[in-house]
Amino acid sequence: MSLAACLLAAASTGVSVSIGVRPTDDVPWGRIGLVAGAFGLTCVLAALRDAL
């Protein structure tokens, strides 16, 4: 579970960097949603890991 949480955090960081690097005229809601979802899943995995 720790590896999965680490991979989700790394993927979330990568998507966050891509939001800042790619200039766009509109708001990248899809990528923002991916970051929020990955962050939420990382928190859930951490809570499950602590519960076990």
> Domain tally for the chain?
1
The pair of structure tokens assigned to 50 is: 């602590």
pLDDT at position 19, please? 86
Q: Which domain holds residue 36?
A: 2-51
Q: Are 7 and 37 in contact (CB under 8 A)?
A: no
Q: Are 43 and 9 in contact (CB under 8 A)?
A: no
AA letter at 44: V
pTM of this structure:
0.78
DSSP character at residue 25: S
pLDDT at position 36, please? 92
pLDDT tens digits for 1-52?
788 888 988 999 999 998 889 878 888 898 899 999 999 999 999 999 999 8
Q: Are 36 and 19 in contact (CB under 8 A)?
A: no
pLDDT at position 27, please? 85
